[in-house]
Amino acid sequence: MTASELGGDGIVLRPWREDDVPAVLTLADDETTRRWSPSLRLVTSRADALAWIQDRVRRGNDWAVTDPATGELLGRVGLHHFDEDDRVAEIGYGVLPAHRRHGVARRAVDTAAAHGFGALGLERIALEHATANVGSCAVARACGFAAEGVKRAALSRGDGGFDDVHLHARLAGDQPGPVESGAAPIEPVEIVAGGYQLCIPNPELDAAAVVAAVDDDDIRLFNAGPATVEEAYAWCRGRADWSVGTHASWLVKDTSGQLLGAVSVFHIDHRNLCGQAGYWVARDARRRGVAASALTAATRFGFQGLGLVRVELFHAVENLPSCRTALRAGFAQEGTHRQSFRYGDDRLRDEHSHARLATD
């Protein structure tokens, strides 16, 4: 079926053209695209890009996502694996690096899905992505594609290995808009934060070091933490398990593997695309920029990896170092919450509220 031009929310889906070759090359020459989009991994030349476009034209129901005001190409979306007898298809999409985190993928998927269920008469549209591609998972859920399971080792990584795949789908009778069910699992990833590393906790390796680090008056007052090695094992196991989809938690280490602190994005609300950040730094690692570096990296993951648009941060008013860290990491102070949290001394304390937006 030939693709027709479709209008959406601040976007236009139009058929592919030969003059889209430069934009396709830009999309293909991107590490994130190559990681998650097998069809673009081998696009390295103008001839490759043209062949890729021609293949999309032959398939039909595949579109360039464009800005209606400027005509600029923002990304791609398509309905493929189309089965006219069973009235099913699968949706795929991608966004050029310069236009990510502006809702392009969500609006493109919404527009293509509406066309699929309407003009094409589909009964079911499937959506699959590598489990580690948490940004795509957020788009799926925001567009009403319910999680249905995991297909193991189903997507080639291009290096001889295979990724597990999350299965999502939306039916013609499903209501549009965000999925209301529980959060989808988040795939744990480690992150380089300047000269530091955000690491997934390992109970066997880290429990004793965590106990030693949190044995500190400031941490006990403002953050708490495990008091025994047994408690630290459970603490590490919980923070290493992101499968509930509501937190992403790390230990912060230097290049030698020494534990410097911890950072987390938690209370993740996939419906409202927001979360909360928290952190602590071991006594001997303070005043070295560890907290600001770790907080910046964790927040960036929240925006880029999880599709969040807002991350909040709260600290006791008298915790001035935490206030300085929040401001240094781009978290604007928004107000003061009176008597809002009971701290380690069992006192309810006033807190400063900070927040950072994906657009900041």
- Condensed to tens digits (0 to 9), the pLDDT of residues 183-206 reads 667 888 999 888 899 999 999 999
> Is there a single domain that holds both residue 105 and residue 157?
yes
- Sheet with 6-7, edge to edge strand ranges: 6-7, 12-14, 62-66, 73-83, 88-95, 124-130, 162-171, 146-156
> Is there a single domain that holds both residue 257 and residue 336?
yes
How far apart are the C-alpha atoms of 55 and 16, rounded to whole Å? 10
Tokens found for residue 358: 């994906």
Tokens found for residue 116: 């699929």
DSSP state of 255: T
> Is there a single domain that holds both residue 17 and residue 160?
yes
> Is there a single domain that holds both residue 218 and residue 167?
no
Q: What is the pLDDT, as a whole number, of residue 332?
A: 96
Domain count, the chain: 2
- In three-state secondary structure terms, 253 is strand
Report field, pTM of the whole predicted structure over 0.85: no
> Is there a single domain that holds both residue 255 and residue 334?
yes
Asked whether residue 106 is assigned to any structural domain, the reply reads yes
Summarize pLDDT for 277-334 with one digit per residue, the tens: 999 999 999 999 999 999 999 999 999 888 899 999 999 999 999 999 999 999 999 9
> Is there a single domain that holds both residue 132 and residue 205?
no
Asked whether residue 183 is assigned to any structural domain, the reply reads no
For residues 2 and 87, which has the higher predicted lDDT (pLDDT)? 87
- By residue range, what is the domain housing residue 250? 191-357
Summarize pLDDT for 149-172 with one digit per residue, the tens: 878 888 888 888 888 888 899 999
> Is there a single domain that holds both residue 315 and residue 276?
yes
Asked whether residue 186 is assigned to any structural domain, the reply reads no
Please answer whether residues 56 and 20 qualify as being in contact, where contact means their C-beta atoms are separated by less than 8 angstroms: no
